[in-house]
Amino acid sequence: MRAVIGLPIIDRATPWAANTNEYFSKALRVRDEYQGHPTIDTVFAPHAPYSVRDDTFKRLRTLSDELDAGICIHLQESAGEMAFSEKTHGCRPIERLESLGLLRPGLNAIHMVHLSESDLAAVQRTGLSVTVCPESNLKLGNGQAPFAQLRSSGVRLAIGTDGAASNNDQDLWAEMKLAALLSRPTPEEPPALTPWDVLAMATCGAADALNLPCIGVLAADKWADLCCLDLSAPAMQPLYDIPAQLVYSGGRDCVSDVWVAGRQLVADYKLTRLDWAPVAARAQSWATRILQEAP
C-alpha cells in the first residue's frame, strides 16, 4: 500500500494521547518507525485551527523546519470555524496560520470551503496546496470549496475523501464525480472542473499536494503506481469519451488491477497480498469495542 500517515496533534485529550506533549512524542515515534519506508510517509497533522493553540503551532513549525516535514490541516471548513477564529483571534484562520509562519509549499490545506479573495491571494503567494473533499462538505452541510476560483487561479489542487468520521466511505471515484458535477455554476456555463481536471486532482495533483514527486505520472524514474480499469464493464458501455466516462460513469468497481511500486496488489478484482476475512474481522472487533466504550 502507498500511504502518507497524518500524525495527529490536538490540544485536548483523546484515546490516542492525553496531552500535547504526548501527541508530539507519539508523532515522532511513529515518524521514526516509518523513516525510510519505501511506500509509507508521514506528515504532521495538527487537527484544525480551533483545536490547536498558538504555542503548539509554533512548536510544530520549529519541528517541521528541523525535520523538513510536511503538514496537513483541516482549514476554513465551516462557518463555525470562521466565527470562532474571528472571535478568539480577531482574524481568519489562514491569516493566523500565516502570522505563525505555517503557510508554505509543504502545507496541505484540506477543505478551504471559505475562501475570500485575500485568502486566495495568500494561498497563491505562499504556494501551499489545497485538497477539496466535496462529499464530506456535503454531508456536514458546510457548503463547497469554490472550485472555479481555485482552478482558474492555478492553486495546487488535490481531491480527497476526508476522514471516516465525516464521510462513510473513502471512495475517491465518488469524490471525482461529485466535484465535477458541483463545479457547474449555471446551465449556461460549462463545469469549472473538466473530467481531465478531476482525474489530475486525484493523481498528479494529489502526488504534488502530498509532496511525493516519485509518483503521480507514468514516467522514467517514477514508481509505476497505477490502476487498470475494465473498459468493457457494463457501466462503461458504450464507450465514447474515456476521461468523461471514467469520471461520470466509472467507479471503483471497474478497477480490475492495481500496482504500487511495482507490486501487484489487486489482480483480476482480487487482493493479492491481504487475506480479507481477518481484516474484516479486525474492523468488526473495533466497531464492537467502540460501541461498548461509547459514552
CB 71 within 8 A of CB 64: yes
Residues 68-87 that bind Zn ion (CB under 5 A): 74
Cβ proximity to Zn ion: between 135 and 162 the closer is 162
- Quote the least distance from Cβ 164 to Zn ion, whole Å: 11
Q: Measure Cα distances from 165 to 5, 161, 243, 291 in Å.
A: 16, 11, 31, 14
What's the grid cell of residue 64?
A: 517541521
Q: Which residues contact 253 (CB under 8 A, 6 or more apart)?
A: 233, 235
CB of 158 to Zn ion, least distance (A): 14
d(CA 162, CA 181): 18
User: Which is nearest to 151 in space by CA: 186, 188, 115?
Assistant: 115
How many angstroms from the chain centroid is the CA of residue 265?
22
CA distance between the termini of the chain: 34
Nearer to Zn ion, 45 or 60 (CB): 45
Shortest Å distance, C-beta 139 to Zn ion: 11
Nearer to Zn ion, 162 or 175 (CB): 162
**CB contact at 8 A, 77 and 48:** yes
Q: Are 215 and 222 in contact (CB under 8 A)?
A: yes
- CB closer to Zn ion out of 158 and 260: 158
Q: Shortest distance, CB of residue 229 to Zn ion, whole angstroms?
A: 28
Least distance from Zn ion to the Cβ atom of residue 47, Å: 9
Binding to Zn ion (CB under 5 A) within 135-164 occurs at 162
Minimum Å gap between C-beta 6 and Zn ion is 11
Considering only residues 167 through 226, tell me which ones interact with Zn ion, judged by CB under 5 A: none
> Residue 150: in which H helix or E strand, if any?
helix 147-152
The rounded Cα 192 to chain-centroid distance in angstroms is 20
Nearer to Zn ion, 95 or 162 (CB): 162
Burial of 228 (0-12, 13-18, 19+ CB in 10 A): middle
Minimum CB distance to Zn ion, residue 74 (Å): 4
Per-residue x/- marks for Zn ion, 35-74, CB under 5 A?
Answer: ---------------------------------------x
Contacts with 34 (C-beta within 8 Å, 6 or more apart), sequence order: 5, 40, 41, 42
**Toward Zn ion, which CB reaches closer, 41 or 81?**
81
Minimum CB distance to Zn ion smaller for 2 or for 74:
74
| Contact indicator for 122, 153 with CB cutoff of 8 Å | no
Q: Provide, rounded to whole angstroms, the least separation between the CB of residue 273 and Zn ion.
A: 30
For Zn ion, the closer of residues 51 and 153 by Cβ is 51
- For Zn ion (CB under 5 A), the number of binding residues is 2
Site residues for Zn ion, 97-116, by CB under 5 A, read: none
Q: Name the residues that contact Zn ion, by CB under 5 A.
A: 74, 162
